Chain A
Amino acid sequence: MIDENAGTAAGTPTPWPGLILMSPAVTSCKNLIVGFLEWFGELGMFFWQVLRAAVTPPFEFREVYRQLDEIGSKSLPVVALAGGAIGVILSLEARQSLTRFGAKSMLPAAVVFAIMDETGPIITALVASGRLGAGIGAELASMKVTEQIDAIEASAVNPYRLLAAPRILACILMLPLLTLAADFSGLVMGWVTQTMAEPVSFYRFIHLGFKGATFHDLLPPTFKTAIFGLIIGLIACFQGMRTQGGAEGVGRAATSSVVLSSLFVIVADVVLVKAILILFP
């Protein structure tokens, strides 16, 4: 196959035959970029529509309440479980390395900071991306392909206001709370792990862990997850509401919401970590 391409390249008077060899790659790369920009533009317009619908009456308070309940109760168990597991892992790892450096007394602080600064928020966001991205994406997509969203519109109700805005708002509000739950569960399990090796009271563990910590250390990382919530809710609603093509489309919407929202959560985290370091030195 490469020989074939090289042949044509040699036959035509092109300044740089390598370009022709690469051209399929170049075009597919170009398509990818154009496709992404288009997608991103549409996402922006979608966000604008939702925002406009959300700030003008009638307000769908009942829907927001229902979504808070739904999203919170759906994700709390998984998030707490993930947080707990991370607590055990961090505690074990920290014990290993801190013992080696003879800084074992630092263990509680190491666990607290590792969990609250970065691991708790990002694990919560990734677990929520999976749970909520798939849930919201599939739910809205199945409404779309069965014309239920059209039916809402035909009943003169704005689907951005009724469906998208409450879900996105609930994600924004819930993520910090879920993060706190994950953090707490991580701390408890971190302590359990520690105390099994070397008994220490929970109170003392927490006291040592938070010694020297300020609100600046702990609040920004927790509240940045509201932005992760925005990303997850927005992408899941967008992917769901633009779905086309039957049951297959529903599956695709669920998968793409999860993949895209986890990806964008991680990318956003890079930016946010840096921003927090600059803003709260």
Chain B
Amino acid sequence: MDTTYQIATQPEDAKQDDSAPVVGLKDLHKSFGTQQVLKGISLTVGGGETLAVLGRSGSGKSVLLKLVIGLEKPDAGSVSIHGQDIAGLDLDRIGEVRKTMGFLFQHAALYDSLTVEQNVAFPLQHHKKEMSKSERSARVKELLAEVGMDGHLDKMPSDISGGMQKRVGLARALALEPDILLLDEPTAGLDPISAAEIDDLVLKLQKERHMASIVVTHDLHSAKTVADRLVLLYQGEIAIEGTFEELRHSDIEFVKEFLKDS
């Protein structure tokens, strides 16, 4: 179904190869004023792989995700998506790259003048113009059903709870069937049952659609469930990278403390 835009954005078949990283970050630096937030982050994420990013509040996790999609520009270092460096692309060309990415904002960032249904329909309206109205609304319902929000089509974002907004945001991120999923705390503010449902959804998408995902989370249980690999940010650098078990057996003091409840 989405072959058309995959061909458009990935002309070389080689890039479909599992071994080539879908997201590659090299030595990223980012400061705001005098505050150095990221001091040299290098990471890769392959197709079908989920990477969890952990770190204390304010450690730069959200900034890192925004660098990946180009909403923030790095002071140094590079971001490549499907092997293409996104630095210096103008808005329309980076848009082509972004069509293959789904982004969930930490505070959902729903359009407050649009209903839940219109929010999810927004990317489809702009990028799937060939879809008829009825096809589109069927697709929107399907997406909202996946996140358990299909009973709230006509509500305004201000009339639903934070956790519900988050789930609508996730449905919107999935609308274009991205092959890269960037999630900023998808389970924050959700009850354990909804959180587990979101985890299941992420796992399912990873299996079925071979997505590369980066999930920022404070929820260790969720990180353990969905992630193949985890990184822990500490003072602008990657303190440790590895599987959950590897992290748990680390001797680094900060890592031990961070994971002591798991």
Contacts and interface: CB of A to CB of B under 8 A. Distances in A.
Interface of A: 49, 53, 56, 58, 142-143, 146-148, 150-158, 160
B112 A146 contact: yes
Interface in B85-141: 91-92, 95-96, 98-99, 101, 103, 105, 107, 109-112, 122-123, 126-127
Contact of A154 (B69, B112, B127): B69
Interface of B: 66, 69, 71, 91-92, 95-96, 98-99, 101, 103, 105, 107, 109-112, 122-123, 126-127, 172, 176
B98 A148 contact: no
A142 B109 CA distance: 11
Contact of A156 (B109, B110, B111, B127): B127
Contacts of B176: 155-156
Contacts of B123: 155-157
* Interface SS majority for chain A: helix
Contact of B92 (A147, A148, A151, A158): A158
11 contacts: A49-B91, A142-B112, A146-B107, A148-B110, A151-B109, A151-B110, A151-B111, A153-B71, A153-B91, A154-B98, A157-B95
A56 B99 CA distance: 18
Contacts of A155: 98, 122-123, 126-127, 172, 176
B109 A148 contact: yes
A148 B126 contact: no
Contact of B91 (A53, A58, A143): A53
Contacts of B109: 146-148, 150-151
B99 A156 contact: yes
B126 A156 contact: yes
A49 B95 CA distance: 15
Given A155-B126, A156-B98, A156-B126, A148 B91 contact: no
Contacts of B95: 156-158
B127 A148 contact: no
Contacts of B69: 154
Contact of A148 (B71, B96, B103, B112): B112
Tell which of A49, A147, A150, A155 has the most Cβ of chain B within 10 Å: A155
B93 to A, nearest CB: 10
B105 A147 contact: yes
Contacts of A160: 91
Nearest to A56: B92
Contacts of B111: 143, 148, 151-152
A49 B172 CA distance: 27
Given A53-B91, A143-B112, A155-B127, 6 more contacts: A148-B111, A150-B66, A151-B103, A154-B98, A156-B95, A156-B123
Contacts of A150: 66, 71, 105, 109
Tell which of B91, B101, B112, B172 has the most Cβ of chain A within 10 Å: B91
B37 to A, nearest CB: 16
A160 B107 CA distance: 23
Contacts of B103: 151, 154
A142 B157 CA distance: 15
Contacts of B99: 156
A171 to B, nearest CB: 19
Contacts of A151: 103, 105, 109-111
User: Can you list the 6 inter-chain pairs with the closest CB atoms, starting with the nearest?
Assistant: A147-B109, A156-B98, A156-B95, A154-B103, A151-B109, A155-B123
Contacts of A56: 92
Contacts of A53: 91-92
A231 B33 CA distance: 32
Nearest to A53: B91
